[in-house]
Amino acid sequence: MKSNILFLVVIVLLASCKNNKNGSDAFGTFEATETTISSESAGKIQWIKIEEGQVLNAGDTIALVDTVQLSLKREALLAQQKAASNKANYILAQVKVIEEQIKTSLVEKNRLEKLFKDGAATQQQLDNINGLLAVYEKQISTIETQNAPVINELEAYDKQIAQLTDQINRSYVVNPVSGTVLTKYSEANEIVNQGKALYKIADLNDIFLRAYVSGAQLPNIKLEQKVNVLADKNESELKEYEGVVTWISSTAEFTPKIIQTKEERVNLVYAVKVKVKNDGTLKIGMPGEVKF
């Protein structure tokens, strides 16, 4: 056990000496912006069309979670909505009948008013027609009062149907970002709950080197600064890339055990992220170096 530990220490020291000869200012590992895509519905996965390493575009439909129960609920609501709509139409038809009666009564009222002026009609006849019109108005008011709950019921059905339609649409898993599938967590025919992770994706075209610098180096680093990034080409050579500093931590942290900084005596370091255009050779987790 002690011999193994001694062997590892020797390896780390040799690596440190090698890096110092290269003149690098900071060391770290490459990472990408990873997005975990989860199911927005619960049920059985009908199909899922992804494999690890597959490149996906934003907007690709990659999976479907069972929608049978949701569809049945929506059909039941549509049937209930249709019945309520027929009831509302019947009520409106009653209103139209009364409105026609009002039109006829208004014509009769106008005729009686002319006859009354000529003395050919009585006040009682006018009172009767006015009373009839008042009855019609009350009937319409009563019918409209009866129709209000039906209208509210129809609006409630609209919202419930829209909610179920949204849930059905969410059962189709649509990939939100372009990138490469890193990990696939679920397979077809599995039962998933809402929020269950299906796969992890990352855009590997732009990759980031998370490196650590000491407080003494920090004043010489700024955002959007162009730097040189080095990564292993083979056992003895390094490949150089152009990078841009995109983030500098405002909080110090203890040096990660896996990182060998330029000044090993410094316990506290600051993390920085350097964006690098990936030519396809850089992988997540690979070690890298940076020269400011």
Tens place of pLDDT per residue across the chain (292 aa): 334 433 333 343 334 444 444 578 899 999 999 999 999 999 999 999 999 999 999 999 999 999 999 999 999 999 999 999 988 888 888 888 888 898 988 998 898 888 888 888 888 888 888 888 888 888 888 888 888 888 889 999 999 999 999 999 999 999 999 999 999 999 999 999 999 999 999 999 999 999 999 888 999 899 999 999 999 888 888 999 999 999 999 988 876 665 555 555 456 889 999 999 999 899 999 999 999 8
Segments of 147-216 assigned E as strands? 172-174, 179-184, 191-192, 197-202, 206-214
Instruction: Report the pLDDT value the prediction gives residue 149, as an integer from 0 to 100.
Output: 87
Select from 50, 61, 60, 45 the least CA-distant residue to 183.
Answer: 50
- Collapsing DSSP to helix, strand or coil, 236 comes out as coil
**Residue 43, beta-bridge partner list:** 192
Instruction: Report the pLDDT value the prediction gives residue 95, as an integer from 0 to 100.
Output: 84
Determine the Cα–Cα distance for residues 184 and 203; give it in Å rounded to an integer.
16
Q: What is the pLDDT of residues 219-236, one digit of tens each?
A: 989 999 999 999 988 888
CA angle centred on 31, ends 250 and 260, rounded to 5°: 65
Determine the Cα–Cα distance for residues 291 and 158; give it in Å rounded to an integer.
61
Q: Give me the domains of the chain, ranges plus CATH numbers.
A: 22-33+202-291 (2.40.30.170), 38-66+172-196 (2.40.50.100), 68-170 (1.10.287.2610)
Determine the Cα–Cα distance for residues 222 and 246; give it in Å rounded to an integer.
9
Retrieve residue 238's tokens. 């390094």
The strand pair at 238-248 and 268-277 is best described as: antiparallel
Q: What is the pLDDT of residues 127-178, one digit of tens each?
A: 888 888 888 888 888 888 888 888 889 999 999 999 999 999 999 999 999 9
Structural contact between residues 230 and 22, judged by C-beta atoms closer than 8 angstroms: yes
pTM for the structure as a whole: 0.68
Read off the amino acid at residue 191. I
